[in-house]
A and B are shown apart, each in its own frame.
Chain A
Amino acid sequence: MVFLLFSDFAVYEPHQVLEMRKLVIPKYFGRPSIGLALFGCTNRPFYHVCVFPDRALGRRYEGNILEQVGTFDPLPNQKNEKLVALNFGRLKYWIGERNAHISVPVLELLGLSGLFPIHPKSFIRAKDNRALIADQQLKAVAEAADAEKLNEEQVSSGATSTSHPQ
C-alpha cells in the first residue's frame, strides 16, 4: 500500500513527498567497526576488542557495543608479557562476512598475532624505537666517557691536593 502511495506522489513536487523514517537493526545495518574500547580506571587502562555498529547510527559508547571479541592489556604483567585474547572465530565472521572496518590498533594486534600481515605502523614503531635505543646507548657511552674523565680529574686533583696539607 505504501509503495502505491509513493508511486502516486512520485509525479508531483518533491516537497510534498513525505519522508518515512526507516527503522534499522544496528546489528545488521551497514558496515560495523572493530576497535579497542577503553575500560579500566585512572592510570590503569584496559581495552576490550569490540564490534560497534555503523558510524552513521551514532558514536561509539559502552551501550552501543554489538559484541566483545577479545581483550588487550596494554600494561605488561610480572613476566613482562602483554596479554591479548582474540576470538578468531567471531573475528573471521565479522571481517569476512560482514566486511567490518577495523581500527588501526586492532589491525596492529592482528598483524602481530599472525592472522593478518604486519601493519606498517608496527614497522614504524619498531624503527622509531630502534633509533631511540641507539640514541640512548650513544648518550650512555658519552656519559660514561664524561664520568671517567671527571673521575680522572678528581683523582689527579685529589693527588695534588693531598700532597699539600691543609
Chain B
Amino acid sequence: MFKFKPKISALARISSEIRFSSQWIKASSSSNEDINVEKLFVDQEVQKLLTDLTEIDLEHKVFRPRRTSIQQRSHFALMTEERLEKTRERMREEARRFLQFVPVKEPREESVQILAQDSELKDFDTSKFVFTDITFDATDQDRTVVVREPDGTLRTANPEEHDRMNRTYYQKPNRPVNAPALFADPYLQNALDKNEHEFVLDWACWFYEPDDPSYIRLSQLVFDRINESGKFHVITSTRHFGPFTFFLALNDNIPKLLNYFGGLGRLADCANLVRLQKAVRPDWRVTIAQGDSDEKIVKDFIKQNARFRDHIGDLQAFISTGKVKSEHEAEKHFGLRERLGRVDKRRVRITSGNIRGNEGPLGELSDEYSVKVVKSEGTGGSDGAEKKEEGRGRGRWRSRDQNTDDKKKE
C-alpha cells in the first residue's frame, strides 16, 4: 500500500526560501529584500503597535446594530455603576476577541508533488480523476487530495483544487463551491462604492484560507482601493485594520493614513504609525529614541519626508492650529450610510446632569425657568404591585376607579 506524503519535501522547501521578494511587498524603497513577512507580522512589538492602532469602537463599529436571523426583543436589567462597568469590560474583552487580526501569510506554493508516473496508463480516460479522502478525523488543511491525470501521473492536488474539494464535500453556509461573483469587478467595485469593504473582506476571510493566493490578491486589492479613496473609516475598528496597516507600512504607504489620523486629532495614533513603519523597516533613515514624545516623532517624520507634503495637509493643519476636521464632515464627504435610518439616534438621555441645562428637556427655555425635580407619584412603585393585586380580581369592575381613588388619598 502506498503511503501518502502530502507534505512538501525538504528540497522543495529550501527552494521556496531562496525567493527574494514577498507577495506583500509591492513597492518599496528599501534595498533589503530578505524580509520574512510572516515572522515580522507575528513580532511582539509589531503586534502591540497594531493593536494600539486598532481602536475598539463598541458603539458604532464592533457592536453596531445589525440584523439578526431571528428577531429577538431587548433585555432590560437594573445595574449599579460598578456592575455596568464590569459588563462593559466584559464586552470589551468580547470585542478584542472579535478584533483578532486575520493572519498575514505568504501565498502557498502552487507546486505539486508527483507520487507516481504510470505511462502505461496514458489515455485511460479523457478527464482527470480527483480523489478526496473523506476520513472522519481530518481537518480542511490535513485532507489528502490526489489527482490522476489522463497521461497516467498521480500527483497531489494544487491548492486551488484542494480547497475546491473541501468546499464541495464539506459544505458550510455561504461557502459555495465556486468563488462568488462579488470577488471580481464590476461587482466588487459596486460593493466598495457602497462602503461595504468590511463585508467583502469578512466573506473572503470565511471563504478562502489565509494563505490562498486568491485571498491575498483580493485583500491587497481592497486595501489598495481603500488607500486610494481615503475611506479609512470603513476599516478602522475591524479585524482587517491590523493587516491593512501592516501592508501600508511594508510598502511605505502611510501618508494618507497619517493624514486621516491627523484630521481627527489622534496624535498618538500618528506616532504609533510612524513607530510601526520604523519597526517594519528597521533600516530606515529615521531613528526613533525610546523617550521621544508623539509630537516630536510626527514632526520629525514630516520634516524628513518632504515628498509626502501634499498628502498630509490635514495633519499639518492640526499640528499648527490644533483644528480638528469634524467627524460629521468626514461622514458627509464619504457618504456614510445610516444603517438603520432611525432619526432619533441623537436624542439625549435625561440625566441629573443635564435636566437643568440647555441639553435637557427644556432646551433654551432652561435659561428662563428653573427646574424643580419632584418625585412622581406614578402608577408604579412597590405599593403599585400591591395595589394591582387589590384592584384586580374577579368580579372587580371598577379596578381603574379604585386606583384613582387611592391616588386621591395620597
Q: Do any beta carbons of A and B sit within 8 angstroms of each other in the complex?
A: yes
Interface set of A (CB-CB < 8 Å, partner B): 70, 76, 80-90, 109, 112-116, 118, 122-123, 125-126, 129-130, 133
1/0 contact string of B154-174 vs chain A (CB within 8 Å): 100000010001001100000
Q: Are A133 and B123 in contact (CB under 8 A)?
A: yes
Q: Are A80 and B122 in contact (CB under 8 A)?
A: no
List, in ascending order, chain B residues with CB within 8 A of A122's CB: 121, 124
List, in ascending order, chain B residues with CB within 8 A of A129's CB: 123-125
List, in ascending order, chain B residues with CB within 8 A of A87's CB: 133-136
A89-B137, A112-B154, A125-B124 given; name 14 further pairs at CB < 8 Å: A80-B126, A80-B127, A82-B127, A83-B130, A88-B144, A89-B135, A112-B131, A113-B129, A113-B146, A114-B115, A114-B148, A116-B1, A118-B118, A126-B120
Rounded to whole angstroms, the CA-CA distance of A82 and B168 in the bound complex is: 13
User: Given A88, A123, A130, which contacts B133 in the complex, CB threshold below 8 Å?
Assistant: A88
List, in ascending order, chain A residues with CB within 8 A of B129's CB: 81-82, 84, 109, 112-113
Rounded to whole angstroms, the CA-CA distance of A82 and B127 in the bound complex is: 7
B128 within 8 A of A: yes
User: Given B120, B125, B126, B148, which contacts A123 in the complex, CB threshold below 8 Å?
Assistant: B120
**Shortest beta-carbon distance from A163 to chain B in Å:** 50
**Shortest beta-carbon distance from B157 to chain A in Å:** 10
List, in ascending order, chain A residues with CB within 8 A of B126's CB: 76, 80
B369 within 8 A of A: no
User: Given A76, A116, A126, which contacts B127 in the complex, CB threshold below 8 Å?
Assistant: A76
B132 within 8 A of A: yes
**Shortest beta-carbon distance from A93 to chain B in Å:** 11
**Shortest beta-carbon distance from B277 to chain A in Å:** 44
**Shortest beta-carbon distance from A72 to chain B in Å:** 9
Closest residue of B by beta carbon distance from A75: B127
A-B pairs with beta carbons under 8 Å apart, 7 shown: A80-B127, A81-B129, A87-B135, A113-B131, A123-B120, A126-B123, A129-B125
**Shortest beta-carbon distance from B34 to chain A in Å:** 38
> Interface centre among A87, A90, A118, A125, by most B CB within 10 Å?
A118
List, in ascending order, chain B residues with CB within 8 A of A112's CB: 121, 124, 129, 131, 148, 154
Closest residue of B by beta carbon distance from A130: B123
CB neighbors of A among B166-191 (8 A): 168-169
Rounded to whole angstroms, the CA-CA distance of A2 and B123 in the bound complex is: 63
Rounded to whole angstroms, the CA-CA distance of A26 and B250 in the bound complex is: 65
Closest residue of B by beta carbon distance from A91: B135
Q: Are A115 and B125 in contact (CB under 8 A)?
A: no
Q: Are B133 and A86 in contact (CB under 8 A)?
A: yes
**Shortest beta-carbon distance from A130 to chain B in Å:** 5
Rounded to whole angstroms, the CA-CA distance of A115 and B148 in the bound complex is: 12
Rounded to whole angstroms, the CA-CA distance of A113 and B125 in the bound complex is: 14
B2 within 8 A of A: yes
Rounded to whole angstroms, the CA-CA distance of A114 and B126 in the bound complex is: 19
Given known contacts A80-B127, A122-B124, A126-B122, A86 and B134 CB-to-CB distance under 8 angstroms: yes
B35 within 8 A of A: no
**Shortest beta-carbon distance from B64 to chain A in Å:** 40
Q: Are A114 and B2 in contact (CB under 8 A)?
A: yes
Rounded to whole angstroms, the CA-CA distance of A52 and B125 in the bound complex is: 28
List, in ascending order, chain A residues with CB within 8 A of B371's CB: none
Q: Are A81 and B2 in contact (CB under 8 A)?
A: no
Q: Are A84 and B132 in contact (CB under 8 A)?
A: yes
Q: Are B123 and A115 in contact (CB under 8 A)?
A: no
> Interface centre among A113, A122, A125, by most B CB within 10 Å?
A113
List, in ascending order, chain A residues with CB within 8 A of B154's CB: 112-114
**Shortest beta-carbon distance from B306 to chain A in Å:** 53
Q: Are A89 and B136 in contact (CB under 8 A)?
A: yes
Closest residue of B by beta carbon distance from A121: B124
Q: Are A85 and B127 in contact (CB under 8 A)?
A: no
Q: Are B130 and A82 in contact (CB under 8 A)?
A: yes
CB neighbors of A among B383-409 (8 A): none
List, in ascending order, chain A residues with CB within 8 A of B120's CB: 118, 123, 126
Q: Are A118 and B121 in contact (CB under 8 A)?
A: yes
Rounded to whole angstroms, the CA-CA distance of A159 and B147 in the bound complex is: 56
B116 within 8 A of A: yes
Q: Are A130 and B122 in contact (CB under 8 A)?
A: yes
